Each structure stands twice: as C-alpha cells, then as structure tokens.
Amino acid sequence: MAHDRTAIDTIRGYYYQFDYYILKLLEAAHDSDIVCIEGIEDVDIFTNDETVAIQCKYYSGTEYNHSVLAKPIRLMLKDYADRLKNGEFLVKYAIYGHYSSGQNKLPFPLDIQFFIKNIFTYKENKNTNELHNILELNDENLIGFIQNLMININAPSYEEQEKQIRLKLKQSFSCTVEHEVDYYYNNALCEIKKLSTQKHKNKRNISKKDFISSIDNANDLFNIWYMKKKGLENYCKTIRKRFFTLKNISPYERFFMIECDASISSIELKILLQNISKKWSKLSNRSEDTFCPYIYLHGISNDKLIEIKKQLWSDDFHFSDGYDFKGSDFSVLSICGKATFKNIIKLKIIETIGQVNDILAHLSKTREIYQFYKNELFYKQANHKHIKIPIFEINDINNII
C-alpha cells in the first residue's frame, strides 16, 4: 500500500508541474512572454526584462525541512557560478513548492549566514563540503545570488492550483459553463504533452500567444492525459455531461465506432450494443421522426460478430446489417432504411470501414460520429461532427453514455 501511495504522489507531482506550466502561460503579462518546460529548471519564464528559472515541486505528504531546498538551490548556485565565470547573462531563480506542514521553520528574511549553514554546506561520503568555497564565490557573489532567488514554500495544493487554471481558462475564453472549461483544459494538457516530449530545449518553448492559439481550436478530441489526470470516474462523468445528457434527442444519424480487442466477450459487447440502442433510439408509434444508431466494432473477428448477432436475435432484438438474405451483397439502401415502430429495428450493425463511408455518403440527414478508442484513432473523418473519446476499457462506454 505504501508503494502505491508513493506512486500516486509521484504522478500527482508530475501533473502538478505541468499544471504550473499551464498556469504561468495563462498568467503571463504579455503575449510575447515565453515559457519553457525542462529548460534551465523545471519551468523557465522569459520576458523582455528577465529570465526566471523555477523549481516546481509537490510534496503533499512531506513536512518541510531545509534539506528539501538544499539540493535544488545548490544546483542553482552552480548554474549561477558558471554564468559568472563565462560572462553569460544572469537569470533569476525560484523555488515553488507545496508541503504538508513545517513552513514556519523557514526564517524570513533569509540572510547569507542561513544559506551558508543550511544550504551551501553539506556532507558527502562523510566529508563536509562548502559549495560556495568550491565554486570560489565571495560574499558579494553570494549576496547577488540570494537577491535573485525567490522561495515560495506555501504554494497552493494540487486541487487549488487546478481551480486557478480553470478560472483563468474561463476568463481567457469567456466560458459560460464548466464543460467548456473541460474542453480547453484538455487541449492545454494535450499541448503540454506535445511540448514536453520534444528532445531539443528550443522546441519546448512556447509564447503565451501561441499557447492560447494552440488550445483554441474547434475539434472535440479528448486525450489520454486528460483521462488519467481526472481519474476514470470523473472522466466518464465529464464526457457524459458534455455529450450524452441530452433530454430531447434530435433525430440524427448517429454512428458509434468502438475499438475492440480479444479480451472483451460477445456477451459484454451485446449488452453494450443494447445499452447504446436504448439510449439513442426512438421508435414511438406517435412520432414520424423515428431513428436508431449505427454501430461499427473495429478489430472484432467475424466469428465473434456473428455470435453477437445470434445473441441479439435470440433476445428478440431486431437489427439491420445491410444483408437481406443469405448470400446477398451488402446494400446501403437496406441498412439505411428507416427504423420504425412497425419494423422495430433498434440497431444497425456495420461490418467494415468501407461500409461506414458508403453509408455516410448516402445519408442526407445530419450525421454524428462518436469514436471510442483504446490505442489510437482508427477512423479520421472531417465532414461531419466527429467526437473522439479515449477509453481504458470498452465497458467504460456504459458509464459514459
């Protein structure tokens, strides 16, 4: 259990740093201000006037002690000494950290003697070392370093920092409801993911203007990082609220495209199909606007698909698959036929991607595509509303819809 707790804390610390990166971009005073992830330090901020290199740490289960500051500040001092020696431009440094308690141990104002005693002097292999002497820095140099060092050990919690981001997003994009904020937050995480995986430091830079532009796009693509950060239950709730809680369902042609794997049973898939049909069908004899959804199961074997059809038929659950009799060719006209109270067709099952394209081309009513994928997108289509939703397991779809 302790190991699991440590792993969770590590993951939260990872996302805390990325959230801080997002927050600094949103808080930047000028569109031209640039923020870099994993540059000089965890997060670097470049403005016209200065550069600030920031160590960002999240220790929700750790009491503050001077030792937690010592190593990162010594690394900053080394960077400072190298810049002095090489005649490079000097930067400012910052420590930004959240701790469970013990913040009162840090005395303010901090003077040179405090740093020499508690930070710059350390033991290694039973030897006492004085880093300021090793680096040949005099008191004037040290005072210059300290004056350019900012320490904040009262940084907000993981949850409070996320609230700050959501407020900034709401202000930046004039959001009126929370699910709109979810959309921009998701895009922000997606952009950070892309930046953080760049090998070269200059590729991990982005200006406030470019960042805002990159997350202000018109697609409805949720990404796997958003799902992991929110947790499965909250993620499913967010997606359901965003896309699947309509009270009055319009009579559109809806396509549910689902990536399958060998681990999912035919019984589980049958139940999922019935659930989708129940939610997204309307076969009332009092309405002319009757409809039912189309389903495409990507990666499923032909034998398993036949088994699912048999199970549906044995449940007296009527469906259409575009084949009117044994040995017939697939008919777009047949599968696109109207589902009614009389023929009680509750579902339309599509076998191939090619059939999906043929059906979309044939239909004239509004078409919506909902793609659920585990590994990567398997269908790309831009002519109609296309919602792309990552999932951990296929059964998560039941909790979403």
Residues forming beta bridges with residue 57, ordered by sequence position: 97
Q: Does residue 34 contact residue 205 with C-beta atoms inside 8 Å?
A: yes
pLDDT in tens, 56-103: 989 888 899 998 899 999 999 999 999 999 999 999 999 999 999 999
The answer to which of 18-22, 33-37, 107-111 has the lowest mean pLDDT is 107-111
pLDDT in tens, 180-215: 888 899 899 989 988 988 989 889 999 999 999 999
For the ranges 103-117, 291-305, 372-386, the one whose mean pLDDT is highest: 291-305
The pLDDT of 160-176, averaged and rounded, is 93
Same domain membership, residue 329 and residue 196: no
Same domain membership, residue 237 and residue 162: no
Same domain membership, residue 188 and residue 106: yes
Per-residue confidence at 3, pLDDT binned at 50, 70, 90?
Answer: very low
Same domain membership, residue 145 and residue 237: no
Q: Which of 157, 181, 215 is the last residue of a domain?
A: 215
Same domain membership, residue 232 and residue 128: no
Same domain membership, residue 339 and residue 251: yes
Q: What total of structural domains would you count in the chain? A: 2
Question: What pLDDT sits at residue 218?
Answer: 54
Positions of E strands within 25-69: 34-37, 43-46, 51-63
Same domain membership, residue 244 and residue 103: no
**Percent of the residues in the chain that have a pLDDT greater than 90, as a whole number:** 65
Q: Which of 183, 215, 247 is the last residue of a domain?
A: 215
pLDDT in tens, 43-57: 999 998 899 999 998
Flag whether pLDDT at 243 surpasses 80: yes
What average pLDDT is seen over the chain? 90
Flag whether pLDDT at 333 surpasses 60: yes
Domain that holds residue 383: 224-400
Q: What is the pTM of this model?
A: 0.75
Same domain membership, residue 120 and residue 163: yes
Same domain membership, residue 228 and residue 190: no
Same domain membership, residue 257 and residue 192: no
Flag whether pLDDT at 40 surpasses 60: yes
Q: Which of 177, 197, 215 is the last residue of a domain?
A: 215
Q: 3-state class of 357 per DSSP?
A: helix
Question: What pLDDT sits at residue 110?
Answer: 87
Per-residue confidence at 292, pLDDT binned at 50, 70, 90?
Answer: very high
47: burial class by Cβ within 10 Å (0-12, 13-18, 19+)?
A: middle
Nearest to 317 by CA among 278, 286, 284, 282: 278
Flag whether pLDDT at 248 surpasses 80: no
Nearest to 372 by CA among 256, 280, 220: 256
Per-residue confidence at 1, pLDDT binned at 50, 70, 90?
Answer: very low
Same domain membership, residue 257 and residue 193: no
Same domain membership, residue 132 and residue 14: yes
